[in-house]
Structure 1
Amino acid sequence: MGDLKQITLITAQERLRDQVAHALRAALVAGELRPGRVYSAPGLAADFGISATPVREAMLDLAREGLVEPVRNKGFRVTEVSERDLDQYTELRALIEVPTIGHATRIATETQLEALRPVADEIVEHATNHHLIGYLDADRRFHLGLLALAGNDRLVETVGDLRKRSRLYGLTRLDELGMLVASAQEHHELLDLMLAGDVPAAEACMARHLGHVRSLWAQARDEPVEPRPKRALGSR
């Protein structure tokens, strides 16, 4: 029974760590945690009303995603990303994703592509309802799901890492400016072109989508978002 209690405790701790990580990602998206600013695990734990350990563990998870970086004896600094960084991330994604979408268009079955239709629907729904965390999750699943159809797991991992390093920037402002829904609808256009087997058009759509997202980032960053009230742990 002692081992069972220990396993139950570990599981509960891991669940709390995941909840904290989710809340911190939401705070990053909403602009509550500001780029360049250092936050301590005890300080954030006080906001959440929990101990510092799961917060520290969650911040280490975010550090592995490139969203924050440890600062010795102080806490974690929210990663700042320059316009040059964003340009380079977008260029790398285009070099990888555009031809891969073309390859996936050639070899994917109608069943495989239609399986991603509900995810494209989710993206539009979350954009319409201003649910940014849900939008990010569905957008990630859609793009990585399409790339996975090409059969290269390492390629999917690489793009996943690039997305983690660039996905947060300007998203809140895009939502406030009413630009997010139009970007969300482009996923249906891409899927329809792939289902039609139109390789050049699918590649062009993917390139345009990435370029569109990058230009929207630039517009959003011109108008900073004011910090919002802190959210409770587990809120969406």
Structure 2
Amino acid sequence: MSYLCSASSTVEIQAPAHPTAERFESLILHGTVLELYEANLNFHRAFVQLSGNDELDGIIAELRQRTSSAPVSQWKTRARIEQSAREHHEMVDLLQARDGKRLKALVERHIRQSVFTNPPSPPAQPGRSMMRWIVSRAMWASL
């Protein structure tokens, strides 16, 4: 992400991430849980593809295939869904502003769905939380 946010970066930031963020947000009130889940996946796919890091994109896709496809545990409350929508927009805005420090902190919070200041510890239970831990560690290491 530091590379994406550097002033010398040649990465095109006029990305498909904003329309996917808008789609996710619009489905909060008017979509099904499955539509919301798919819109979230589409946003994250578009956002990760901005990095140009095909390996990271592939790792995340593989990790998603290893976990349950049921979106039931994705968000605990509607407030968390709404927070995720705000974070999606802010992630794109910070990327466009090339504010790597704030983007890194936001991505960490978004992945963990909480605030942390140190690399996360592995979860006690495997499953979706393990996928979040693996991805957050990979993101932490690459930032």
Q: TM-score, normalised by structure 1?
A: 0.41
- 2:113 match: secondary structure: helix
Structure 1 match to 2:102:
201
- Alignment of 1:102 with 2:10, yes or no, is no
Answer whether contact 2:4 2:98 (CA < 8 A) is retained: no
Question: Equivalent pairs: percent with the same residue?
Answer: 24
**Inter-CA distance 205–141: structure 2 relative to 1 (3 Å threshold):** same
Deviations 1:8-30 (A, max 9, x none): xxxxxxxxxxxxxxxxxxxxxxx
Q: How many pairs are equivalent?
A: 110
Deviation at 1:148, TM superposition (A): 1.5
- Of 16, 20, 26, which residue of structure 2 is paired with 1:125? 26
Query: RMSD of the TM alignment (CA)?
Result: 2.5
Query: How far apart, CA to CA, are the structure 2 residues paired with 1:191 and 1:212?
Result: 17
> What letter is aligned with 1:116?
A
> What letter is aligned with 1:195?
Q
Instruction: Please list every run of 5 or more consecutive structure 1 residues that lacks an aligned counterpart in the other structure.
Output: 1-100, 215-236
> What letter is aligned with 2:14?
T
Query: How far apart, CA to CA, are the structure 2 residues paired with 1:120 and 1:183?
Result: 9
**Inter-CA distance 104–122: structure 2 relative to 1 (3 Å threshold):** same
Deviation at 1:188, TM superposition (A): 0.5
Larger C-alpha radius of gyration, 1 or 2? 1
Name the structure where strand makes up a greater proportion of residues.
1
Structure 1 match to 2:123:
none
Structure 2 match to 1:137:
38
**Inter-CA distance 171–149: structure 2 relative to 1 (3 Å threshold):** closer
Query: How far apart, CA to CA, are the structure 2 residues paired with 1:119 and 1:155?
Result: 20
**Inter-CA distance 202–130: structure 2 relative to 1 (3 Å threshold):** same
- Of 66, 72, 77, which residue of structure 2 is paired with 1:174? 77
- 1:110 match: secondary structure: coil
Structure 2 match to 1:162:
63
- Alignment of 1:111 with 2:14, yes or no, is yes
**Inter-CA distance 162–169: structure 2 relative to 1 (3 Å threshold):** farther
Q: TM-score, normalised by structure 2?
A: 0.64
Structure 1 match to 2:91:
190
Deviation at 1:189, TM superposition (A): 0.9
Deviation at 1:173, TM superposition (A): 4.8
Instruction: Please list every run of 5 or more consecutive structure 2 residues that lacks an aligned counterpart in the other structure.
Output: 116-143
**Inter-CA distance 103–144: structure 2 relative to 1 (3 Å threshold):** farther
